[in-house]
Structure 1
Amino acid sequence: MYLMDTPYGSAPSPVWERPEPQPRAAPVPLSRAKIAATAVHLADSQGLDGLSIRKIAKELGVGPMRLYDYVTNRSELLDLMVDAVYAEIAEAAPQSEWRAAVLAVVHRTRAAALDHEWFADLLGARPHLGPHALAVGESTAAALSQAPGLHDVDALQRALGVLNAFLVGALRAEITERQVARATGTDESEWQSALGPYLTRMLETGRYPTVSRLVHDGAHLDAAETFHHNLTTILDGITTTSPRENPNLPPG
């Protein structure tokens, strides 16, 4: 076990900093990247609840105990899986202009989350500190730091917080809707047929005029278009008026 000294005593060094175990004379060569790729594949098809060291080992054709040479627990396995997805996000095409750079990274994050639905469950749950996650964080922060109105590190921190909150909420909502529809076998038209009469009766009471307007006059919004519209609205908001410049904010 590799240890590092911290203010709280000795702790295992992060999985990304530990050297790979020495290769064995075994029929199946292993690496952390190979284990992570296999785990990602299983999670894509079975979800995180269906993921286990035993299943990964079976998929790789090795005994479960061999995997513990590479990852000491499930938490480390999830760290490697998350960073493997960030490696995909890091492939976003580089952009010279700050706004285009942020849009490219965020849209690439959405695409990766839709490909790996379990990834959204881990967004915001714990710090993502793998090398690819840090690379994505650096490119996002560096681009956003060039935006007008973000004059200091406090403004940049707030802007990143707003952007991350939007991203986590939007992706979790979109993916949850997809999962529910898939699990129940109910699409939007079937849902409307089942609950439409009830909703009509409730709206006819006149107690919900704004909801009624949204139901009757609002168009069905495309998920990708809505995501892009809301993202650009967020960027417009966080880069035009800093909190210090807003006269409507209460003091202190």
Structure 2
Amino acid sequence: MLDAAERVSAQGFDALTIRAVATELGSSPMALYRCFATKDELVDALLDRILGRLATPEPRGDWAADLAAFARAHRMLLALHPWAIIPLFTHPNPGLNATRIGELALDILRRGGVTGGDAVADFCGILALNYGWSAFATARSAAARIGQDPGPVIGAMIAALPAERFPLTVAVADQMSAYGSDEHYERALRHLVSGIRDSGIRDSAAVTGSAR
């Protein structure tokens, strides 16, 4: 059933219905309802399956590098299953695999001296970066597949703006056309992880100082 649901979801989350999955299976909707009482139960099971595919990076001994590797692996998971981005907002904890992902991130942060509410906030920051980035990158990729990549259009529109009124924006027109690129993601991730690392160092120093 989940194999069939995944094939249907590849057409987009809106396509995922009990009836569509039953049709894919050559069965009746009532047969599925014996396993999943509601569509939400089916979505939870499918999301849990997807999240179980996170490629856990091997620890490198540098917790900040491990955190960046975790973020990249999570982003790749979303890129491979773009239909899952929207339902993950409304089903943030669909099963134990979501908990496993959170435990992995919190353990990496703990190694850097970031714990408690600070660790939760930093973990949420990484998720927010990945969900947001994946959302507009996916939309751009979908448009490009039908020959409507908005990047060059946006770049041309920005370049045509009056430079005397928007000098800074016009100066980066080429870069604006590359929004959602891997290079831009790496820069954003680098700054996010750097900020988390520096915060962990400051907190550790403060704890050491108070202990004295």
| Both proteins in one fold, TM over 0.5 | yes
Equivalent position of 2:192 in the other structure: 234
Offset at residue 200 of structure 1 (A): 4.5
Please say if 1:109 is aligned against 2:74. yes
CA contact (8 A) 1:92 1:105 kept: yes
In the alignment, residue 93 of structure 1 is paired with which amino acid? P
Report the CA distance shift for 1:217/1:236 in structure 2 as closer, same or farther (over 3 A).
Answer: closer
CA contact (8 A) 1:123 1:168 kept: no
Report the CA distance shift for 1:132/1:72 in structure 2 as closer, same or farther (over 3 A).
Answer: same
Please say if 1:134 is aligned against 2:99. yes
Higher RCO (CA < 8 A, seq sep 6+) = 2
Equivalent position of 1:15 in the other structure: none
CA contact (8 A) 1:39 1:51 kept: yes
Report the CA distance shift for 1:126/1:62 in structure 2 as closer, same or farther (over 3 A).
Answer: closer
Equivalent position of 1:166 in the other structure: 129
Please say if 1:202 is aligned against 2:161. yes
Identical counterparts, % of pairs: 22
Post-superposition Cα deviations, 1:179-202, rounded to whole Å, max 9, x if no partner, equal 23335x22357626xx83x54542
Which whole-Å CA distance do the structure 2 matches of 1:191 and 1:68 have between them? 47
What does residue range 84-163 of structure 1 map to in structure 2 within 5 Å?
84-89=49-54, 91-97=55-61, 98-148=63-113, 150=114, 152-163=115-126
Offset at residue 103 of structure 1 (A): 2.7
Offset at residue 225 of structure 1 (A): 2.7
Post-superposition Cα deviations, 1:154-200, rounded to whole Å, max 9, x if no partner, equal 221221222222122111121122223335x22357626xx83x545
- Aligned CA-pair RMSD: 2.7
Which whole-Å CA distance do the structure 2 matches of 1:115 and 1:228 have between them? 18
Which whole-Å CA distance do the structure 2 matches of 1:77 and 1:43 have between them? 11
Which whole-Å CA distance do the structure 2 matches of 1:190 and 1:104 have between them? 30
Unaligned runs of 5+ in 2: 204-212
Query: Over alpha carbons, which structure has the higher Rg?
Result: 1
CA contact (8 A) 1:101 1:140 kept: no
Unaligned runs of 5+ in 1: 1-34, 246-252
Equivalent position of 1:21 in the other structure: none
Q: What is the TM-score with the length of structure 2 in the denominator?
A: 0.81
Report the CA distance shift for 1:137/1:113 in structure 2 as closer, same or farther (over 3 A).
Answer: same
Which whole-Å CA distance do the structure 2 matches of 1:190 and 1:166 have between them? 24
Aligned residues: 201
Which whole-Å CA distance do the structure 1 matches of 2:22 and 2:177 have between them? 48
Post-superposition Cα deviations, 1:202-225, rounded to whole Å, max 9, x if no partner, equal 224x11011011126879477223
Q: Runs in 1 of length 4+ with deviation above 6 angstroms?
A: none
Q: Which structure shows the higher helix fraction? A: 2
Which whole-Å CA distance do the structure 2 matches of 1:186 and 1:115 have between them? 21
